[in-house]
Amino acid sequence: MSDFIGEFLGTMVLIVLGTGCGAAINLNKSYAKGSHWLYVTIAWGMAVTFGVYIAANFGSQGHLNPAVTIGFAAFGFFPWSGVLPYLLGQFLGAFVGAVLVIIQYYPHFKATKTAEEGNQVGIFATAPAIKNNLFNFLSETIATFIFIFALLNLGDFDKGLKPLIVGLLIMVVGQGLGATTGFALNPARDWSPRLAYTILPVPNKSSANWQYAWVPMCGPIVGGLLASALQYFLK
């Protein structure tokens, strides 16, 4: 049960802070509206850092990400018996995190009438800068591969100052590789907030762009499997 609780709480905090940044930079009458990419990468990096700390304190390893959990399990770095509670915690935690952001910014959603003004699913989920399904998929695969391969070589990344290093890793991956697709790197981080935006009464909401959603689901999982496979065969 601690595995589920840790992943649930850690992923919830990750999404509150990460998608909260998305709301802050997009919605009308927010003090942060119009802030730039560096702001985004720092916010997501620190969101991961504190999510990992919280998850570890409640008994999980701080994966917060199905691409990490599935990749690790596929090559023996994590037991398969732990996969289901981890995945449930991640997807449910991400959904609840998105709900909290909707509540926090509800008046700002009401003040932002159209997608052009900033009321769009990109607050909660990713979208490509240039739509090209093949290269969007490859972008997510490559970015997640680099992230998880580095993660595997940090050792116990939920201990000591290592969650801060993980946050810095997220920042540099976002800055170097994330500008093509918004660097989902994480199916739960994309799908659960996208679902919350779809089914909840968000004022003035626009399309949730589900036709793209397979990319941030499949690309990170493939990237995680490839990184774990490389680590397994090299070690």
What is the CATH classification number for the domain harbouring 121? 1.20.1080.10
Q: How confident is the model at residue 226 (pLDDT cuts 50, 70, 90)?
A: very high
Q: Report whether pLDDT(133) > 80.
A: yes
Q: What percentage of the chain reaches a pLDDT higher than 90?
A: 97
Q: Report whether pLDDT(94) > 80.
A: yes
Q: How far apart are CA 229 and CA 219, in angstroms?
A: 15
Q: How far apart are CA 38 and CA 210, in angstroms?
A: 27
State which residues form the domain around 90: 2-234
Q: Which two tokens stand for residue 128?
A: 């490509």
Q: How confident is the model at residue 154 (pLDDT cuts 50, 70, 90)?
A: very high
This prediction has a pTM of 0.96
39-75 pLDDT per residue, tens: 999 999 999 999 999 999 999 999 999 999 999 999 9
> 67: part of which helix (H) or strand (E)?
helix 66-74
> Tokens 């493939």 map to which residue?
222
How is residue 122 annotated by DSSP?
G
Q: Are 187 and 219 in contact (CB under 8 A)?
A: no
Query: What confidence score (pLDDT) does residue 235 get?
Result: 80
Q: Report whether pLDDT(1) > 90.
A: no
Query: What confidence score (pLDDT) does residue 165 get?
Result: 97
Distance between alpha carbon 142 and the CA centroid of its chain, in Å?
Answer: 15
| Separation in Å, CA 75 to CA 57, 133, 155, 161 | 26, 28, 15, 26
What is the rounded average pLDDT of the residues 197-210?
Answer: 96
Q: Report whether pLDDT(27) > 80.
A: yes
Q: What percentage of the chain reaches a pLDDT higher than 70?
A: 100
Our count of domains for the chain comes to 1
